Amino acid sequence: MILTCRYAPYVPQREPPHAPGPGSDHVPDNGSVTGPKQAPGPRADDRPPPRHRDLRLAVDRASPVPLYFQLARQLEAAIESGTLAPGSLLGNEIELAARLGLSRPTVRQAIQSLVDKGLLVRRRGVGTQVVHSHVARPLELSSLYDDLLAAGQHPSTRVLQNARGPAPAAVAAALGLPESCQVAVVHRLRLTHGEPMAYLCNYLPCDLLEPATPELEATGLYALMRHHGITLHSAEQTVGARAATAEESRLLAEPAGAALLTMQRTTYDDRGRAIEFGSHLYRASRYTFEFRLLVRA
């Protein structure tokens, strides 16, 4: 997962016509007292980076996969495998294009997609190089959903409630529905290895989808919605923390008043309709939320 903070393409020096000059692209400021989870590679130094002209690259024009995407995948694989070492230069775009028999814009599109992923860095007058620390991979795959369904976690779902009812005011507002409109109300307990992990309350407009309990127990809500032909587009999330109530601590098998990680989310489809509002509680003792933040200067 990539959290892009702000957009601001290169702009020549005279005239600062819009906000995003240097000094306005922030990454949040954080910190406390526990340890990180893994060591990146050895510390990078400032030796002149090696060049790579001998990379084996080839595209298949008969394939239905877009050329730029084929190239991007090969470069990504080379970076992951270490063939393209961190810090090495990619060789200029024109040469790369010539070697592959592609046009420069196509090569640029491939490279740009990797820059967007944080695997490459482009510097004008210098070249394109592989980011030194390649910690990108593990984090790309991590997400709350993946964490819950991850291999070896043996996730399961217990449906506590699945009914139709009037939307609470806050939910109606989030979904853009009239007050007290009927919605599908789903309360679930998500377990891993049979242990409770999260308590999930979701609300869905009932003209869109009323999930069946067996479906809910067999899969995640999003997979279910996709299966019903809904195209997810975006979501707005708020993460916080609070102490568990008596009932919550009972449900989640936590001590009374334990710290819980909270998340509220409104999800939209590709037409911009709100299709779901969720209010979730995670056991902080077993759960964290990881992501990667990219600063686009």
Q: Could you list the residues that contact DNA (CB under 7 A)?
A: 9-10, 12-13, 64, 66-69, 90-95, 101-106, 108-109, 122-128
- SS3 of 136, please? helix
Angle between helices 67-81 and 104-117 in degrees, nearest 10: 50
Q: At residue 10, what is the residue type?
A: Y
How many angstroms separate the Cα of 152 from the Cα of each of 101, 156, 192, 241? 44, 12, 9, 27
- What separation in angstroms does the CA of 173 have from each of 121, 168, 176, 179, 269? 42, 9, 5, 8, 17
Structure tokens belonging to residue 12: 């020549």
Task: Tell me if 118 contacts a second copy by CB under 8 A.
Answer: yes
Taking the complex as a whole, how short is the minimal distance between the CB of residue 86 and a second copy, in angstroms? Answer: 6
Tokens representing 41 are 């590679």
- CB atoms closer than 10 angstroms to residue 124: 6
Query: Would you give the binding string for a second copy spanning residues 7-36, x where CB under 8 A is met?
Result: x-xxxxxxx-xx---xx-xxxxxxxxxxxx
The answer to whether 287 contacts a second copy (rule: CB under 8 A) is yes
Kindly state the tokens that stand for 132: 């030194």
Taking the least distance from each CB to DNA, the nearer of 94 and 212 is 94
If the CB atoms of residues 18 and 37 are measured against DNA, the closer one turns out to be 18
In this complex, which beta carbon is closest to a second copy, that of residue 87 or of residue 96?
87
Shortest approach of a second copy to residue 113 CB, angstroms? 6
Least Cβ distance, residue 43 to DNA (angstroms): 20
Q: Which is nearer to DNA, 48 or 214 (CB)?
A: 48
Q: Which is nearer to DNA, 106 or 192 (CB)?
A: 106
Among 99, 116, 153, 215, binds a second copy (CB under 8 A): 116
Binding-site member from 182, 241, 250, 253 for a second copy (CB under 8 A): 241
Rounded to the nearest whole angstrom, what is the least distance from the CB of residue 181 to a second copy in the complex?
A: 9
The interface partner of residue 103, options being a second copy, DNA, none and the CB cut-off 5 to 8 Å by kind, is DNA
For 164, the 3-state DSSP assignment is strand
Shortest distance (Å) from residue 4 CB to DNA: 16
Is 105 near a second copy (CB under 8 A)? Answer: yes
Please state whether beta strands 120-123 and 259-269 pair in parallel, antiparallel, or not at all (unpaired): unpaired
In the shown chain, the binding pattern of residues 147 to 166 toward a second copy, with x for contact by CB under 8 A and - for none, equals xx------------------
Does the footprint of a second copy cover residue 96 (CB under 8 A)? Answer: no
List all residues 6 or more positions away from 188 whose beta carbon is below 8 Å from its beta carbon.
157, 158, 159, 160, 199, 200, 201, 202, 216
Options 158, 164, 242, 250; binder of a second copy; rule CB under 8 A: 242
**Phi, psi (rounded to 5 degrees) for 255:** -65, 155
